[in-house]
Structure 1
Amino acid sequence: MPQHTHAHTRHCPHCGGFSTVAVTAGGRHLDGSRVTIRVTCPGCQGTGTATPARATLTRAGK
């Protein structure tokens, strides 16, 4: 049987592709659920993919 190969995406080296996480703050709401803070990766701005080095260089040069 043939196996399908998926296109390789470049994951962000900072977050490994997990661009947004929920961090518990330690407290609980009145209904018992946890208080969470949503944090996005500063390296990829929440996309989960790496920016090519060429695009980074041209953006830095402007």
Structure 2
Amino acid sequence: MPEHTPAVRRCPDCDGFPVVAIGIGGRDRHGHLRTAAVHCPACHGTGTVTTRPVLARAGR
């Protein structure tokens, strides 16, 4: 029987791909490309965002 898994909201800025490798140019002495891992600033590298509670407006 399948289990119910909660829906996860993807980060709208990175669309679920929170870490990318950016080439910084050149090669090291072994011939490998030099890269830097960069994290999404909106989700801090998790790929998901938390849902904000909705404020209910009640009144007359």
TM-score of the two chains, using structure 1 as the length reference: 0.69
Q: Which runs of 5+ in 2 are unaligned?
A: 54-60
Unpaired segments ≥5 residues, structure 1: 55-62
Of Structure 1 and Structure 2, the greater helix share is in 1
Kindly report structure 1 stretches of 4+ aligned residues shifted beyond 3 Å: 4-8
Q: TM-score scaled by structure 2?
A: 0.71
Residues 44 and 51 of structure 1 are in contact (CA less than 8 Å); yes or no, is this contact kept in structure 2? no
Among the aligned pairs, what percent are the same residue?
Answer: 46
Which residue is 1:44 aligned to? Answer: 43
Q: Deviations over 1:3-27 (max 9, x none)?
A: x698432110010011111111121
Number of matched pairs: 52
Distance 2:4 2:28 in 1: 42
Larger of the two Rg values belongs to structure: 2
Amino acid at match of 1:19: P
